[in-house]
Amino acid sequence: MKKILLIGGCGFIGHNLAIHLKKLNFDVTIVDGLSVNNLYNFKDNIGNNEFYRTVLNNRLDLLNVNKINFQITDARDYHALSKLISSYKPDFIIHLAAVSHANKSNKDPHSTFDHSLRTLENALDASRSVGAHFIYLSSSMVYGNFDGETVEEDRLLNPIGIYGTLKMCGEYIVKSYNQVFDLPYTIIRPSALYGERCVSRRVGQIFIENAIRGQKIIINGDGSEKLDFTYIKDFIQGIALCINSKNSKNQIFNLTYGEGRSINQLIEILKKEFPSIEIETKDREKFTPERGTLSVEKAKKLIDYKPSYPIEKGYIEYINWYSNFFKDKFKK
């Protein structure tokens, strides 16, 4: 049985991934210091504290129900993390620890560095002793502006802002450990993730929350901007394929749905469930790159990746989950 260690595994991606891998009969252990995934990080949303507390507790409850081993360890502590990795001897280490919002990174670069690159360097260095295959979650933000193109993995990286730049630095650090220490790796570039128990203040979540609360939907720009919206179920099955396929070794993959869709198209789906919502537009934020479609042809060819959730299917599932699970939590 393959042993998988998830660093930063209590977040939106991590807990969904842990549950999925456990159902595939992997031996899964989570390491998380709970310094990012805690109520403090939602302090700007005071009116929703009960809601966010419910989400975070539900994540932990699901990990317990699925009998997933969970170690409260701060990955910024090199000695503690190294001791845990040496003891557990994982076959794969998946690095998820990060500040997950680009705007927050630009406002607090020190915290972003602390939780992203510091934990990454600690995990990589500790991995040397066990020779684990290292999977690093990067971001589509490393590409910068797409310029209307469908971007492939070999495109020149030109990030805008602190978040994308740190993710690019992380990729180079991972590859350097392969060059110097022959540590096997896979780098994954996701885009615009959404799905059950996502409360990371991403655009798809904010739209649903405001609609349920009867508040205006705020769009930065005219709504024509495209993102490659990716449902969490597609994404986690893609990571599982990376674990199971030898073809993922020392490769970089875009793992998205593979089709850029506009903010306006997302709004139209939301209107089917909330026809009376009001829309307000604002100027685009300065450090938001113009993105679009990420090619997933490489992942389809090498690991048999088969995304199956366009926004017409995945976003409706997310809306339904949100409405049903929190129907008694939202008050106007």
What is the residue extent of each domain of the chain? Answer: 3-325
Q: Is 193 helix (H, G, I), strand (E, B) or coil?
A: strand
pLDDT of residue 289: 85
Query: Which token pair is 146?
Result: 């797409």
AA letter at 297:
E
Structure tokens at 69: 């081993």
For residue 55, the surrounding DSSP H or E stretch is: helix 49-65
The token duo for 112 is 């972003």
Geometric angle at alpha carbon 36, from 34 and 41, rounded to 5°: 120
Q: Which amino acid, one-letter code, is at 64?
A: N
- The number of angstroms, rounded, from the C-alpha of 128 to the middle of its chain's C-alpha atoms is 25
* Helix (H), strand (E) at residue 28: strand 27-31
SS3 call for 328: coil
Q: Where are the alpha helices (DSSP H) in 128-262?
A: 161-181, 203-212, 232-244
Q: Residue 303's pLDDT band (boundaries 50, 70, 90)?
A: very high
Stated pTM of the model = 0.92
CATH no. for 3-325: 3.40.50.720
pLDDT digits (tens, 9 = 90+) for 128-139: 989 999 999 999
Q: What is the mean pLDDT of residues 87-102?
A: 85
Is residue 325's pLDDT more than 90? no
pLDDT recorded at residue 39:
45
236-271 pLDDT tens trace: 999 999 999 999 999 999 999 999 999 999 999 999
Q: What local confidence, expressed as pLDDT, does residue 56 receive? A: 85
Q: How far apart are CA 223 and CA 83, in angstroms?
A: 49
CA atoms within 13 A of residue 305's CA, in its CB half-sphere:
30
C-alpha count within 13 angstroms, C-beta hemisphere, residue 182: 2
DSSP string for residues in 277-311: --EEEEPPPTT-----PBP-HHHHHHH-------H
Picking from 191, 189, 186, the residue whose alpha carbon sits closest to that of residue 204 is 191
Closest CA to 199 of 3, 44, 74: 44
